[in-house]
Amino acid sequence: MERVEKLDPARLLRRDAQAEADVSAAVDAVIQEVRTRGDEALRDYTRRFDGAELTDLRVTEAEIQAAWEATDADFRRTLELAAENIRAFHSRQIHSDFVLTREGGIVMGQRYTPIEKVGVCVPRSPVAFPSTILMNVIPAKLAGVQDIVLVTPPEKDGSVSPAALAAAKVAGVDRIFKIGGAQAVAALAYGTESVPRVDKIVGPGGVFVAAAKRKVFGQVAIDMIAGPSEILVLSDGRSNPAWVAADLLSQAEHDVHASAVLVTDSMDLAQAVQKEVEVQLEQLPRRDIARKSLETNGRIFVTASLEEAAEAANVIAPEHLELCVDDPFALLSRVRNAGSIFLGRSAPEALGDYYAGPNHTLPTSGTARFSSPLSVDDFVKKSSFLYYPRAAMQEAAPRIADFARREGLEAHARAALIRCTTDDKKGE
């Protein structure tokens, strides 16, 4: 893990991006095969990439019930409690329609309607993530989505992890299919004999999924193009180095492209954390992945003040930001760019990943500068509406016509003015 004493904003932004261009041709071929051959192509790809021989791509109700019964009662309760927390948080995001009335009988407003069909992609690494299922499905349910289709790759024996199916049951998934990768994205975007075409695709994935989502955007909506996971711990010198090291490693173990950064105003803490990272690394089952991540993307920046540290965080715009300081609420006002912010020394990023309630599907690769966590908003559409009585329209018509003619659109002008000179109904 590299320690850097001088801040360099350009260097802060040098992330190891996934090379989608390298897989573009392969993803094009997969999409075309799925569009042409449907379920047959899906079965072929599942055999090739997952080693599973399937006749039925769909997870049956019997499989879901068996998975629920095979999941220990304590974890089932954990899933239920996490789901309650997620629902409680996301229910506050539900918007109300509004109506505005103006003089002359004019009525206008805005209404929200749910997206009808949503596909949720869940990778298997090493198992289909039950936390991702809860985080993606529950906001969609709260938004009123009527058909939620989950896709996840099977194990070689054709099964899906019981924990994932238990989470799907708790969250309220409508249909589950044993497919993954670019082929699952293509199936959701275009539909096959078994897999329904959806209106929006959400959920994480590797470089093939990211490339496929980018290619089908426009045919369907997507949530975001997710990059490698990131954490930035902003800490003063009074934090426990072991706690900070553990939080950095919690992201580094995701994959070799993950980014773990410490920004602190204390050289003593920087040195102590660096030593503690080495100690804890050796205790991790995924230590080889974590070590490669830290060697490639791990950084420790030492700043002159916490204010300067906060500005560094704004430049990096991390997916996860921890404020491990005495008064995190005071520092919060200085944060402009971050996906999810964890306040204080007792709120690790893992709390948000699994349990607390705010969503863990977050903007990465600096996109927190302009985008937001997954929310109920991602599963609804807004429509505006307006009503003008004839008298109000006649009053506005000359101004509308003037506007239209200045833009060279005579038919627009006439559409407004005709309502001043003729009746609204066909004469008998």
Looking at residue 426, its amino acid is K
Distance (Å, whole) CA 356 – CA 167: 16
Burial of 250 (0-12, 13-18, 19+ CB in 10 A): buried
Active-site position among 90, 320, 322, 349: 320
Q: Are 280 and 245 in contact (CB under 8 A)?
A: yes
Rounded to an integer, the average pLDDT of 132-138 is 98
pLDDT given at position 5:
60
Q: Which residue has the tokens 């706690």?
A: 243
Distance (Å, whole) CA 261 – CA 145: 38
- CA neighbours within 13 Å on the CB side: how many for 350? 13
pLDDT given at position 271:
96
| pLDDT of 19 over the 60 cut | no
- Is 319 annotated in the active site? yes
**Which three-class secondary structure state does DSSP give residue 99?**
strand
Read off the pLDDT band of 18 (50, 70, 90): very low
DSSP H/E element including 383: strand 380-387
Active-site position among 33, 276, 319, 349: 319
Q: Which of 268, 216, 270, 227 is nearest to 248 (CA)?
A: 270
The neighbouring-strand residues paired with 220 are 217
Distance (Å, whole) CA 328 – CA 13: 24
Read off the pLDDT band of 424 (50, 70, 90): confident
Q: Are 205 and 226 in contact (CB under 8 A)?
A: yes
| pLDDT of 20 over the 70 cut | no
Share of the chain above pLDDT 70, in %: 95
- CA neighbours within 13 Å on the CB side: how many for 326? 4
Read off the pLDDT band of 127 (50, 70, 90): confident
| pLDDT tens per residue, range 335-391 | 999 999 999 999 999 999 999 999 999 999 999 999 999 999 999 999 999 999 999
| pLDDT tens per residue, range 203-249 | 999 899 999 999 999 999 999 998 889 999 999 999 999 999 999 99
Q: What is the DSSP letter of 79?
A: H
Q: Which residue has the tokens 């709260």?
A: 142
Q: Are 265 and 294 in contact (CB under 8 A)?
A: no
pLDDT given at position 128:
80
Q: Are 222 and 255 in contact (CB under 8 A)?
A: no
Residues 232, 236, 237, 239: what is their CA dihedral angle, to the nearest 10 degrees?
-70
| pLDDT of 133 over the 60 cut | yes
- Is 193 annotated in the active site? no
pTM, full prediction? 0.92
Cis-peptide into 126, omega within 30 deg: yes
Distance (Å, whole) CA 92 – CA 85: 12
Phi then psi dihedrals of residue 393, to 5 deg:
-65, -40
